[in-house]
Amino acid sequence: MSGKGENFEDQAFVTLVTNDRYAYGALVVGQSLRDVGTTRQLAILITPQVTQPMRRQLSMLYDYIQEVNPLDSQDDAHLALLTRPDLGITFTKLYSWRLTQYSKCVFLDADTLVLQNVDDLFDREELSAAPDVGWPDCFNSGVFVFKPSNETYRGLLQCAVTQGSFDGGDQGLLNTFFSDWATADINKHLPFIYNMTSAISYSYLPAFVRFGNEVRIVHFIGRTKPWMYRYNTQTGTISRPSDVDVTHDSIYVKMWWDVFMSKVKPRIEQEQGTPLQDSPSITPPSIAPCHHGGGGETMSHDSSDSNHCRHGHSYQGYSTVPEHYQIGGGGVQHRPPPSVPQERTSVPTVVRFLS
Ligand SMILES: [Mn+2]
């Protein structure tokens, strides 16, 4: 074995994004995989909502990009119970099993961050995953080892139709389909350090103190994501958004931003051909200044976001990522509400997908 990927071209890390905001997560997790020297391919599934400039950014980092159409459940009543009416699209995750050009894959949510090399995950068999902190007899579907197979894909769809998902998302379905995970084979239980919930230091601090330095993958579960935070470029400190649902450990949010600022942002600037803004003063929520109605490089954001572009206000030294990545457009374009991947939720419901 000599060259990167020479002997492992049939194995890949796979992630999924359904909009530009999550694509920032994919840029960071993909970069973090490069930074730890992975020998495997990087593959990403995207939905039509991801903009062309963002696709170009992703293509600089990922070896393989596949656009997929969302497998929307079209079951708004049930989905609304979860206060995440757009989560049906996350069944797109099932499409991962159709990446049969690979013999084995490791799925990583776009809201994860790799801190140490995890190529040893490819020694594991399908379906290997770490326990979910909310119900450890279920696995968390943010990180898992799987084997692409059209037969398995069809089985998963059939399972969705006949049994549904007990949490309304992919995690419930996958735990139903791979129902013997909890008891059948301990080798399919990934250590928690491969999918550490970023808020764990608040729930079991002594264990975090003891084992925290062994963490390999951090998972920013919940609706509040690292890219919703503000990053002070002068002090390197993090500010939480106002509507936090999960308090992520600021150490890891800062790690996410360090990757974004040092590797991802420069590539965006390089593609634009101009600095995003005079460093170090950066105005939220866009990296670039808000150019409403102006041409040139503009990163717009959704009006429903809590972080509106605030003209006339100074937020010097702070940075957040924009909702949509847009270059060369005619200013802010309001797009449909973004769809976001499903997270574990405790709301029980039986739904029928794809029926
Ligand atoms: Mn996640």
Residue 61 belongs to a domain with what CATH number?
3.90.550.10
Cα of 341 vs centre of ligand 1, distance in Å, is: 7
- Distance from Cα 112 to the centre of ligand 1, integer Å: 7
The answer to the question of residue 305 being in a domain is: no
Residue 40's alpha-carbon distances to 165, 180, 267, 354, in angstroms, are 31, 28, 22, 33
For 303-320, the pLDDT digits (tens) are 222 222 222 232 345 566
Distance from C-alpha of 71 to C-alpha of 73, rounded to nearest angstrom: 6
Distance 104 CA to ligand 1 centre (A): 21
- What is the whole-number distance in angstroms between the Cα of residue 314 and the centre of ligand 1? 32
Cis peptide before 127 (omega within 30 of 0): yes
Three-state DSSP class for 82? coil
Looking at the domain assignment, is residue 353 inside a domain?
no
pLDDT, tens digit, 9 for 90 and up, residues 218-247 = 999 988 899 988 888 788 888 888 777 777
**What pTM did the predictor assign?**
0.76
Q: What CA–CA distance (Å, rounded) separates 183 from 97? A: 23
Domain count along the chain: 1
Q: Residue 14 in 3-state DSSP? A: strand
- Residue 327 within a domain: no
Residue 267's contacts (CB-CB under 8 Å, 6 or more residues apart) are 57, 60
Range of the domain at 36: 11-214
CA 295 to ligand 1 centroid distance, Å: 35
Peptide bond into 226 cis (omega under 30): no
In a domain, 181, yes or no: yes
189 CA to middle of ligand 1, Å?
18
Return the number of other C-beta atoms located less than 10 Å from residue 289's C-beta. Answer: 17
Q: How far does residue 274's CA lie from ligand 1's centre (Å)? A: 32
Distance 218 CA to ligand 1 centre (A): 10
Cis bond leading into 136, ω under 30°?
Answer: no
Reported as a single tens digit per residue, the pLDDT across 6-45 is 568 999 999 999 899 999 999 999 999 999 999 999 999 9
Query: Quick check: is 5 in a domain?
Result: no
Q: Tell whether 33 is covered by a domain.
A: yes
Q: Is 154 part of a structural domain of the chain?
A: yes
For residue 345, CA distances in Å to 81, 163, 168 come to 10, 18, 8
CA of 278 to the centre of ligand 1 (A): 33
Cα 344 to averaged position of ligand 1 atoms, centre (Å)? 8
